[in-house]
Amino acid sequence: MMHRRSCILSLLALALVVLGGVAIWIQQQRQETQTLALFHSSVLTQAPCIENVCPGFDEGRALALEHLAHSEFVQGREQQPNRIRLSFTQAGKGLGDGVIDFIAEGQSTPTLVRDISFRLFDLELETVLNALGEPDQFLFISGCGMGLRVYARLYYFEEGIIVNIDYTTRRPDSQVLEGATPVDAISYVPPGDIQNHIVESVEGLIGPYNVAYDFHPSVATDDILAQIRPWPGISARPTPSADFCPR
């Protein structure tokens, strides 16, 4: 009887230890998620700039690098004659990357920022909307990549911001925009150039070298541009407006 009671007590103690470990792990995961969301927000609330470097910044690459050198969350280094490479970090951990592209005129030193694009690891749409507010319009099409490719763009016209959503899923029911939707990348462009960027990106989708989006041969640029619609709000759980890919 004593041996049996001792075994039961040992099992209970072990169960408590395991449950305690699980509770600690859950708390750590929750804290890490909150910390990451705060980091994402600290980057996005500066939109459409990063450390006061914005599209149209015309004071040269050297001064842009000086701005970045004082940042707590992003570092910049020269890459190619007309580009700065961005690395987002916190406590020595890499949390994203990106580029600042300059307009290069001949052989002169680049001075004018053309656009900024970056990705933040594990960024979710809810965090973007909380930081940037509601977009003006969006594009959401489906059917590509054997029907499992999720493609959407959110457009902020006055600010010159484009939010890129682009991933592959094994669950067709995930083709809906909601708070937990993963965000692939964000671009900052001059507001006056955003329409050109939209057209160029769509033209790249249907080009002969884009194998990820196997559009039907009859699909033209204007067919996709016609699917851009007013943003209905995340509570409407927007779904794709068209399926352009044969399967």
Q: Where are the domains of the chain?
A: 1-44, 48-115, 122-247
d(CA 190, CA 161): 9
Q: Give the pLDDT confidence score for residue 33 in this predicted structure.
A: 64
**Phi, psi of 223, deg, nearest 5:** -65, -40
Mean pLDDT is highest, among 16-25, 29-38, 134-143, 158-167, for 158-167
Predicted confidence (pLDDT) at residue 98 exceeds the cutoff of 60: yes
Task: Identify whether the C-beta of residue 189 lies closer than 8 Å to the C-beta of residue 162.
Answer: yes
Average pLDDT, stretch 157-169? Answer: 91
pLDDT in tens, 217-227: 788 889 999 99
- Stronger pLDDT, 164 or 219, i.e. the higher one: 164
Q: Give the pLDDT confidence score for residue 40 in this predicted structure.
A: 93
- Stronger pLDDT, 22 or 167, i.e. the higher one: 167
Q: Give the pLDDT confidence score for residue 5 in this predicted structure.
A: 61
State the pLDDT confidence band at 92, using cuts at 50, 70 and 90: confident
Q: Give the pLDDT confidence score for residue 211 in this predicted structure.
A: 62
Task: Identify whether the C-beta of residue 48 lies closer than 8 Å to the C-beta of residue 56.
Answer: no
Predicted confidence (pLDDT) at residue 208 exceeds the cutoff of 70: no
- Residue tagged 């899923």 (tokens): 169
- Stronger pLDDT, 169 or 145, i.e. the higher one: 169
Task: Identify whether the C-beta of residue 105 lies closer than 8 Å to the C-beta of residue 126.
Answer: no
The encoded tokens of residue 139 equal 């594009």
Predicted confidence (pLDDT) at residue 68 exceeds the cutoff of 70: yes
Angle between helices 2-44 and 125-132 (to 10 degrees): 40
